[in-house]
Amino acid sequence: MTPNEVLASANYLVRFDALSQYGSARIFPCGVSGQVDLDSLSSRDKREYLYARAMIGLEFAYPVVVCCTRAF
């Protein structure tokens, strides 16, 4: 499954917004409580997730869990 397919199939996403105006947000699929399944992430996404988590308050804001609603 590609990263875009993983995000498209997720019911919830955890979002780390950048504190800098030049930074970009990091978004990862998660459960309702914000739990990210590291085994389902690619090695690059896993590194990005762990980096974003480690840089909370320095480069990224506290993460928020977003519900993905899809209209069918």
27: in domain: yes
Rg (CA), the chain: 12
Q: Report whether pLDDT(3) > 60.
A: no
72: in domain: no
What residue numbers bound the domain in which 62 lies? 3-67
Q: How many domains does the chain contain in total?
A: 1
- pLDDT tier for residue 68 given thresholds of 50, 70 and 90: confident
Kindly report the pTM of this predicted structure: 0.80
Task: Kindly report, residue by residue over 13-40, the tens digit of the pLDDT.
Answer: 999 999 998 888 999 999 989 999 999 9
| DSSP assignment of the chain | --HHHHHHH-SEEEEE-BSSTT---EEEEE-TT----GGGS-HHHHHHHHHHHHTBTTTBPPPEEEE-----
48: in domain: yes
